[in-house]
Amino acid sequence: MAIFEVGKGYEFITLDVYEGNYHGISTTNTVAEIEGPLIKLDDGTIINIQAPTFEGVVDTAQRKQYADETRTAISTHDGDF
């Protein structure tokens, strides 16, 4: 099973160093090409998923589905937490 699929949207989380501190950067984009550990996005950005600055990825379709299910569960809940 492949981790990434060409044509599918993901949120990529990478690290950047600014003024001596690490900061997370989130980029949401669609995968255009995959070549080994290099993922080319449809805007031309290339992300090396083996680089130490690569933190993670979230499937945007799954995130939306989870958010929709959570909203539905909360809206139909009777208030007993």
Q: Is residue 68 part of a domain?
A: yes
pLDDT digits (tens, 9 = 90+) for 23-73: 888 889 999 999 999 999 999 999 999 999 999 888 887 766 666 666 666
Q: Which domain holds residue 72?
A: 9-76
**Which of 72, 8, 11 lies closest to 34 in space, CA to CA?**
8
Q: Is residue 61 part of a domain?
A: yes
DSSP per-residue letters across 11-52: EEEEEEEETTEEEEEEEEEEEEEEETTEEEETTS-EEETTST
pLDDT number for residue 76: 67
Q: Is residue 70 part of a domain?
A: yes
What is the total count of domains within the chain? 1
* 63/58 Cα distance (integer angstroms): 7
